[in-house]
Amino acid sequence: MPTRALALILCLLPVAALAAGPALTRGLTPVEPRVPAPDFQLADLDGKRLRLSELRGKAVILNFWATWCPPCRKEMPSMERAWRGIRERGEPIVLIAVNVGEDADTVFGFTARMDLSFPILLDERSEVADRYRRLTGIGTMALPTTFVIDPQRRVAYRAVGGREWDDPALLDPVRALLGGTAPPKAARAAARD
């Protein structure tokens, strides 16, 4: 009888999964071997320029997004929570959101409502996004896509689609990069959780 009950549960699982819909996304995909992260210099909404190579020695979470993209908007609050936690702990991690293809007025109109404190850079001509797009292997990228860059300025992970960025399952592999060696197995395990 226990066998039959187990069989019943197993055969009903797909039905339950269909009814529940897609689960929250958590994983980071290791980029192996790590490739050099293309350097860039972009301005923020105040015109202040930031260059990636100036962040050597820190881990960088580099997010590409647009205001019209619903998953991009959805993950922004979790990025803000993650950024505030990083700053409170004084961790050498930088979170940057690069807006793709929109002008400063459009981006400002959006971020002013969201109360975001992490750096937001403007890639109005999509040149930086296109350089990172070429890193995705088959030459395609959609928004949002996020790259995690290690302190040696190599791309260590990527995530396609929105994430809950304050989830330890995402931030712990980023923190592990600061120790000098990345744990791809740990990241894969987190992805499967």
Would you tell me which residues interact with another protein (CB under 8 A)? 4, 7-8, 11-15, 17-18, 22-23, 25-29, 66, 68-71, 100-102, 124-126, 129, 136-143, 158-163, 188, 191-192
- 177 by Cβ neighbours in 10 Å (0-12 / 13-18 / 19+) ranks as buried
CB of 122 to another protein, least distance (A): 12
The minimum distance between CB 70 and another protein, in angstroms, equals: 7
Contacts from 20-27 at CB under 8 Å and sequence distance 24+?
Answer: 24/164, 25/161, 25/162, 25/163, 25/164, 26/163, 26/164, 26/167, 26/169, 26/170, 26/190, 26/191, 26/193, 27/159, 27/169, 27/187, 27/188, 27/190, 27/191, 27/192
Q: Decide whether 55 or 132 has the Cβ nearer to another protein.
A: 132
Query: What is the enclosing helix (H) or strand (E) of 30?
Result: strand 29-36
| Least spacing, CB of residue 27 vs another protein, in Å | 3
Min CB(92)–another protein separation in Å? 26
Complex with another protein: residue 58 or 73, whichever CB lies closer? 73
Nearer of residues 111 and 146 to another protein, judged by Cβ: 146
Q: Give the residue with the Cβ less far from another protein, 17 or 112.
A: 17
